[in-house]
Amino acid sequence: MKKEKKRKEKPEDQFFNSEFSQGYVQGKGFPGFLHNLSLDIRRNKMLYVFLAIIVTYFIIFNYLPMFGLLMAFEKFNIVKGVFGSKWVGLQHFKTFFSGPFVGRLMRNTVLIGVLDLLVNFPAPIIFALLLNEIKWNPFKKTVQTISYLPYFISSVVAMGLVINFTKAGGVISSLFSFMTGGQSENLLNIPGWFRPIYILSGTWQGLGYGSIIYLAALSGIDQELYDAAKVDGAGRLRQCWHITLPGISSMIIIMFIMRMGSVFSVGADKILLLYNSANYEVSDVINTYVYRLGMQEANYGMSTAVGLFNSLIGTALLLTSNAILRKLTDTSMF
């Protein structure tokens, strides 16, 4: 019988058999990456199943709809669809910036967004610091629970309460008239009152819920630092300034960067529920304009263009604030 010829191993076979059979490898280029990925999938099947569900969700609901951005550059026809509509380039953007409403929309969006940032960004931080100083747990838990509840009320119900409280004869209107000695009137009909009402309603809804992440960060600070500070004679304020705030500074910076990205994304839902013809001049923002163009006038191309512009401004603010804070503090999102 002829002796069977022994198959000569190829160099790549030797490579895989000798090194890749031992588990995860490093520094082997793309073949090493594929090997590590397949090995990790075999070892963590259920984790990758959950990951696949999440990735599928984002692809379907976040990435595939981005094809609709083409409408910003088209005279969109609902019958012809995105790929059959007439291409108009930057015409919608030119129409918006030369229109009569751009000044009012930009002014109101910036003012409301900046006021909301100045008031409602530090408010949960201050609230979390105050809660952290409460040592009696039953009272602390009660305050936390009460402060969380408004967040879970729908915007329609919450703004309905705001409208009832601020109308003529309402609780807030009556209290204000009692303090000023004037007559009770609908505060939402006074243009100067719209922005404070909108901002403070956001504070009421988001104060408790927004403090959760800061309370979690506070729980990670080493308590021995406070004990050492007490021995050195530091009071509550000095402990807060030198231990507590530096301990959560990274979280504050990350949340600030994320908040900067949404300065121009003033919530249209709340404003649509609160505004009327009397306060229209100070309450109309970019998002409400997009809503009117798309839902009431069926001008989908124009509404997409304005919404895209708003999103680009938010992205620019996010990237700029991230770059500045990375240089100043060495802390950033990316």
Mean predicted lDDT score pLDDT of the chain: 88
| Residue 8 confidence (pLDDT) | 52
| Residue 15 confidence (pLDDT) | 45
| In the predicted structure, residue 217 carries a pLDDT above the cut 70 | yes
Model confidence pLDDT, tens digit, residues 2-44: 444 455 545 444 444 445 455 777 777 788 788 888 888 888 9
Distance (Å, whole) CA 269 – CA 287:
9
Query: What percent of the chain has a predicted confidence (pLDDT) above 70?
Result: 93
Model confidence pLDDT, tens digit, residues 300-321: 999 999 999 999 999 999 999 9
Nearest to 161, CA basis, from 152, 148, 171: 171
Give Cα 120 distance to the centre of its chain.
13
Summarize the confidence of residues 112-138 as an average pLDDT: 93
Summarize the confidence of residues 173-177 as an average pLDDT: 89
Instruction: Using pLDDT thresholds of 50, 70 and 90, give the confidence band for residue 1.
Output: very low
| Residue 22 confidence (pLDDT) | 58
The dihedrals phi and psi of 10, each to the nearest 5 degrees, come to: -75, 160
Fold of 91-329: MetI-like fold (1.10.3720)
Could you tell me the residue ranges of all domains in the chain?
Answer: 23-61, 91-329
Indicate the angle between helix axes 155-166 and 191-210, nearest 10 degrees: 130
SS (H, E, C) the chain: CCCCCCCCCCHHHHHHHHHHHHCCCCCCHHHHHHHHHHHHHHHCHHHHHHHHHHHHHHHHHHHHHHHHHHHHHEECCCCCCCCCCEECCCHHHHHHHCCCCHHHHHHHHHHHHHHHHHHHCHHHHHHHHHHHHCCCHHHHHHHHHHHHHHHHCCHHHHHHHHHHHHCCCCHHHHHHHHHHCCCCCCHHHCHHHHHHHHHHHHHHHHHHHHCHHHHHHHCCCCHHHHHHHHHCCCCHHHHHHHHHHHHHHHHHHHHHHHHHCCCCCCCHHHHHHHCCCCCHHHHCCHHHHHHHHHHHCCCHHHHHHHHHHHHHHHHHHHHHHHHHHHHHHCCCCC
Distance (Å, whole) CA 294 – CA 83:
19
| Residue 244 confidence (pLDDT) | 92
Model confidence pLDDT, tens digit, residues 234-260: 888 899 999 999 999 999 999 999 999
| Residue 7 confidence (pLDDT) | 52
Distance (Å, whole) CA 244 – CA 226:
9
Summarize the confidence of residues 93-120 as an average pLDDT: 93
| In the predicted structure, residue 197 carries a pLDDT above the cut 80 | yes
Instruction: Using pLDDT thresholds of 50, 70 and 90, give the confidence band for residue 199.
Output: very high
Half-sphere exposure for 147 (CA within 13 Å, toward CB): 20
| Residue 257 confidence (pLDDT) | 93
| In the predicted structure, residue 142 carries a pLDDT above the cut 60 | yes
| Residue 98 confidence (pLDDT) | 92
Other Cβ atoms closer than 10 A to 16: 16
Model confidence pLDDT, tens digit, residues 260-298: 988 888 878 899 999 888 898 999 999 999 999 998 888
| Residue 11 confidence (pLDDT) | 47
The dihedrals phi and psi of 74, each to the nearest 5 degrees, come to: -130, 160
Beta bridge partners of 86: 75
| In the predicted structure, residue 64 carries a pLDDT above the cut 80 | yes
Does this model's pTM top 0.85?
no
Alpha-carbon distances, residue 92 vs 74, 80, 181, 264 (angstroms): 8, 19, 50, 20
| In the predicted structure, residue 117 carries a pLDDT above the cut 90 | yes
